[in-house]
Structure 1
Amino acid sequence: MRAMVAASKHVSFDELCSGLGCKDVYHPRTPSCLASVWDMNQRSMKGCIQLFASVYALQLILHRRKINREYLKHHAKNYARTVLAGNLASTFSVIFCCTSRRLLGGFYRYTVLFLPTMLSAFAVVLERREKKEIYLCSLITMTVEYVIRHLARTGRLQLTKLRMCASFMLLNTAAMYLMRCNSIEMLSGINYWPFIPPRVEKRSCKRREDSDQTDCKTSVCNHSGSCWRHVFQEATKYLLLGMAVQMLRVLLPQFRRVVVHPAEQLQNLCVLKNFSLAMFFGSYVGIYHAVVCLLSQLRGQDSEVHAVPAGFLAGSAFWFYPKLTTLLMVGTTVFQQLTKRGQALGVVPRSDFLMNCIFAFFLGAMFHCRIVDQEICHPVFVSMMNAISGGRDEECRAVYLRLRDNYQKR
């Protein structure tokens, strides 16, 4: 671990790590490596059960209309697979850490955290392909965000609200157009961006059962009823969704205070900044549908090209919620849609092994950054790793900080 501190001091890794054992770096609570593996397994299992129980419970609430006996059985099986994958990844990380030190005879820069975490991350093979896709998209987003924040911290990149808004508008244009052009098969599974634009519906005619006459669709838009009513309904739906998500993000970390002092916490909740996500989602969806309907009425038909101006103008809603994570999410969505199109055309290989390798690499890199440079890591990743490892990553972080402070005092 001290090797990670030495990079800026130009001191050899072997000199800094001399005399340190596994218990000094990986498992300070347990002197034995075998006891450490068992301790990690128990703590990780408890953390994974608690973490993924809330995630899968939320999925049940969102898909409550599909709930039946078969759905619950399938849901329970997926929950068990996710818990087992997280537990095996955490347990094998300790095994690979201790084994690499014994085989190599010491600690080195990338064998301390990166390599063991990357190897243990192959436990993701237990997950379904759809879940692995969303995991990989999330990791790519958080890794790119870390790199951008690192460049901004060193002064090599300036993050301004105007630049991020312009970038979001351009990326959102590409994302909306690709999702509208892609087939239903390409859009199947789990999509990374929460809003999926409706596809273009061709005019269709149906023959009446009681006569030879046919009824043809006269509306040029892909919805029924008034356009203004449709825009208002969709905007309101996503406005309420953004409000619910923002409230959960604010209230869940302070759940005990909400129970003890509900009036005080609800008063703190009614702040304008807590409605920024709702304003973003509501205006984003409303502007998109309004532009698509307007162009369809003017041209007399719906088209995939309408997603270009609609996506560009809807991207201006980013001004209400100028977060780097939101910008990178839509960028990752473009990457996801391009990958699906490439797989459909046979240009990009549809390989589970390749996906597992990419996932393992990004997880190893992010966990390394989480320990040595937590300040600019995404807080969601920090919380996830803390829950899955049962708090072991916090112990590694504490060891790293102690070694760094001791070296700086020399």
Structure 2
Amino acid sequence: MANQSKLTNIPTTCIEYVHPWTDSCINATAGLLIVSALDSFRIYTIVYVASLLMRGRIPKRKDLSRTVLGIMQSTAFLTTSAFSYSAYLCFLRRVFGGFNIWTGSYIPAFMSSFTAILVERPSRRSLLTMYVANVATEALWRMASSRGMVKSIPYGQVLIFGLSTSSLLYYFRSGVHLEGKDSIYDIIRFIVGRDEEGGQKEVKTIKPEQSTRPRIKNNYLLIQKFLEMHKKVTDKLKALPKHDKCPHHHSCAYYTIRGGTKLFGIGLGIQVALKLVLNIQRIVKSPKKTMSIFFAKDTLKIGAFLGGFSFIYRFIACFLRHVTNDDKPSYSIPATMLASVAFMSYPDKTAALYIMWKALQITYNMLSDQGYLPKVPGGVIFLYCAFTAVLFHAATFEPRNLRPSYWKFLFNLSGGRISVMDRRSFDVWGLDTHAQIMKTIEMTRTGTDIKYTFGRW
């Protein structure tokens, strides 16, 4: 029976496949509702409270009220997505008398996602779509790769990042970004600087200021000497030549070096802070290992990427303005592509795919606003449902192609139930589903604590 048609129904019951721990579809759905509600509440409490704290001010009663309502609504959204998936699986089995490749996960996941997204706030739907699109794109690539349909390209994520960022920076330099006002441009402005932003007034060269620093007592003589030396070097860099077409205030050398060193320092600070948070238990147990944690090779990755990108971009942009005696938005394309080489020091797939989907979203919105592409009503909702269904399909039939972190998310959300769904009857489709799920379960057991135990493996 191997490699049976995937459109043919497999005559397995929902008791055997969906909820082998109970004979009741209602009990299975109710149990999933309870455990998913608890985990959803935990997740969104952390998310919303962290967002509230990041504002950097004492929250008012209105802020607290919005936070509580946001937690409750988002918890309802994620809980609905979890328990309605199980309910739709049982419903479709009763309608069709079995499961095929579509009704075994994709269609019920699409239906549950549609039900759930209507519960969530409209302002969050686009953000959720971007996230699932990111993870689903990676899953689809792995699925195609496992079938021999595509081949991985070395540092392909760097190419994706470069092409996507080039389009965003072109919009940024052209000034068209002012129409959409997407938050991604705040990040771009932070990395390349406000001077590269299109639509700004032309600036004039500013001579280095001869500022005076207060004298410091002898106890801090070394610091005083360092500050004086830093000021001398900075003033000399500022006084170097600057092309009239360059939009920045001081010399090109100062502009380039300052951008690179500033972003390197910020990236280093981010990496150190992350290491401190993620390794707090190890540091408390063994303070002697603190230095080894902070001075590891990967500590410089984010700083090298941010600093390298800013330095190379500014250098190439100024070089092109010097050579051509002009300043065009199109110069941002070669400057960005060359600067993207710095992404090799931090080749994160998630970041590359996020930038790709953000560029596609902004491009589509821009072209649809100009009348070149039609506006699709409910397009965001459809994309969210389609991509989420892909993730549930991968988790059901070929989990090796799903990002491990997303599998753990589904595992915790379902209280371990996703690992107990009996998929052995689906092996006739030639996907080695049972073997894949057993290996994934073993990896999950060694990596996380399982609080719930069901099934009969």
- TM-score (structure 1 length as normaliser): 0.78
- Number of residue equivalences: 381
Alignment of 1:37-52 (within 5 A): 37-52=29-44
Q: Tell me which residue corresponds to 1:139.
A: 132
- The partner residue of 2:270 within 209, 234, 241 is 241
Q: Tell me which residue corresponds to 2:423.
A: 400
Q: Tell me which residue corresponds to 1:212.
A: none
- The partner residue of 1:8 within 3, 13, 35 is 3
- The worse-fitting range, judged by mean Cα deviation, of 108-117 and 75-84 is 75-84
Alpha-carbon distance between aligned partners in 1 of 2:333 and 2:85, rounded to the nearest angstrom? 46
Letter in 1 for 2:96: L
Alpha-carbon distance between aligned partners in 2 of 1:255 and 1:288, rounded to the nearest angstrom? 36
Alpha-carbon distance between aligned partners in 2 of 1:126 and 1:191, rounded to the nearest angstrom? 26
Alpha-carbon distance between aligned partners in 2 of 1:239 and 1:50, rounded to the nearest angstrom? 30
Residue 377 of structure 1 deviates from its aligned partner by: 1.2
Residue 231 of structure 1 deviates from its aligned partner by: 4.4
- The partner residue of 1:170 within 157, 163, 171 is 163
Alpha-carbon distance between aligned partners in 2 of 1:193 and 1:7, rounded to the nearest angstrom? 53
Q: Tell me which residue corresponds to 2:356.
A: 331
Q: Tell me which residue corresponds to 1:32.
A: 24
Alpha-carbon distance between aligned partners in 2 of 1:115 and 1:373, rounded to the nearest angstrom? 16
Is the contact between residue 113 and residue 367 of structure 1 (CA under 8 Å) also seen in structure 2?
yes
SS where residue 64 of structure 1 aligns?
coil
Q: Tell me which residue corresponds to 1:304.
A: 329
Residue 24 of structure 1 deviates from its aligned partner by: 1.8
Alpha-carbon distance between aligned partners in 2 of 1:361 and 1:243, rounded to the nearest angstrom? 38
Alpha-carbon distance between aligned partners in 2 of 1:133 and 1:12, rounded to the nearest angstrom? 33
Alpha-carbon distance between aligned partners in 1 of 2:263 and 2:369, rounded to the nearest angstrom? 31
Alpha-carbon distance between aligned partners in 1 of 2:184 and 2:124, rounded to the nearest angstrom? 10
Letter in 2 for 1:56: Y
Alignment CA distance shift 1:234-1:321 (3 Å): closer
Q: Tell me which residue corresponds to 1:356.
A: 381
Q: Tell me which residue corresponds to 2:75.
A: 83
Is the contact between residue 179 and residue 337 of structure 1 (CA under 8 Å) also seen in structure 2?
no
- The worse-fitting range, judged by mean Cα deviation, of 139-148 and 289-298 is 289-298
Q: CA RMSD in A?
A: 3.6
Alpha-carbon distance between aligned partners in 2 of 1:200 and 1:169, rounded to the nearest angstrom? 20
Larger radius of gyration: 2
The alignment status of 1:285 with 2:277, answered yes or no, reads no
Identity %: 19
Letter in 2 for 1:76: V
Q: Deviations for 1:311-352, whole angstroms, at most 9, x for unmatched residues?
A: 112211122123443432332222022022124324445556
- The partner residue of 1:221 within 232, 238, 247 is 247
Is the contact between residue 242 and residue 281 of structure 1 (CA under 8 Å) also seen in structure 2?
no
Alpha-carbon distance between aligned partners in 2 of 1:11 and 1:187, rounded to the nearest angstrom? 46
Q: Deviations for 1:5-51, whole angstroms, at most 9, x for unmatched residues?
A: x773559954xx43x43222112233211111211111010110111
Letter in 1 for 2:345: F
Alignment CA distance shift 1:242-1:354 (3 Å): same
Letter in 2 for 1:28: P
Q: Deviations for 1:226-268, whole angstroms, at most 9, x for unmatched residues?
A: 62435432442244335545x37xx64x776565456558735
- The worse-fitting range, judged by mean Cα deviation, of 69-78 and 48-57 is 69-78
Q: Tell me which residue corresponds to 1:214.
A: none
- TM-score (structure 2 length as normaliser): 0.71
- The partner residue of 2:95 within 103, 108, 111 is 103
SS where residue 420 of structure 2 aligns?
helix
Letter in 1 for 2:414: S
Alpha-carbon distance between aligned partners in 2 of 1:332 and 1:394, rounded to the nearest angstrom? 31
SS where residue 378 of structure 2 aligns?
helix
Q: Tell me which residue corresponds to 1:187.
A: 181
The alignment status of 1:341 with 2:341, answered yes or no, reads no
Is the contact between residue 36 and residue 82 of structure 2 (CA under 8 Å) also seen in structure 1?
yes
Residue 379 of structure 1 deviates from its aligned partner by: 2.6
Alpha-carbon distance between aligned partners in 2 of 1:342 and 1:132, rounded to the nearest angstrom? 21
Is the contact between residue 193 and residue 330 of structure 1 (CA under 8 Å) also seen in structure 2?
no
Residue 87 of structure 1 deviates from its aligned partner by: 0.8
- The worse-fitting range, judged by mean Cα deviation, of 262-271 and 282-291 is 262-271
Unaligned runs of 5+ in 2: 204-243, 436-457
Alpha-carbon distance between aligned partners in 2 of 1:166 and 1:325, rounded to the nearest angstrom? 14
Alignment CA distance shift 1:403-1:106 (3 Å): closer
Is the contact between residue 93 and residue 99 of structure 2 (CA under 8 Å) also seen in structure 1?
yes
Residue 274 of structure 1 deviates from its aligned partner by: 5.1
Alignment CA distance shift 1:11-1:85 (3 Å): closer
Letter in 2 for 1:329: Y
Alpha-carbon distance between aligned partners in 2 of 1:287 and 1:305, rounded to the nearest angstrom? 16
Q: Tell me which residue corresponds to 1:200.
A: 198
Residue 58 of structure 1 deviates from its aligned partner by: 2.8
Letter in 2 for 1:133: S
Q: Tell me which residue corresponds to 1:73.
A: 65
- The partner residue of 2:145 within 142, 148, 152 is 152
Is the contact between residue 35 and residue 415 of structure 2 (CA under 8 Å) also seen in structure 1?
yes
Alignment CA distance shift 1:401-1:195 (3 Å): farther
Residue 369 of structure 1 deviates from its aligned partner by: 0.7
Alpha-carbon distance between aligned partners in 2 of 1:7 and 1:179, rounded to the nearest angstrom? 54
Alpha-carbon distance between aligned partners in 2 of 1:401 and 1:268, rounded to the nearest angstrom? 44
Residue 184 of structure 1 deviates from its aligned partner by: 2.7
The alignment status of 1:92 with 2:84, answered yes or no, reads yes
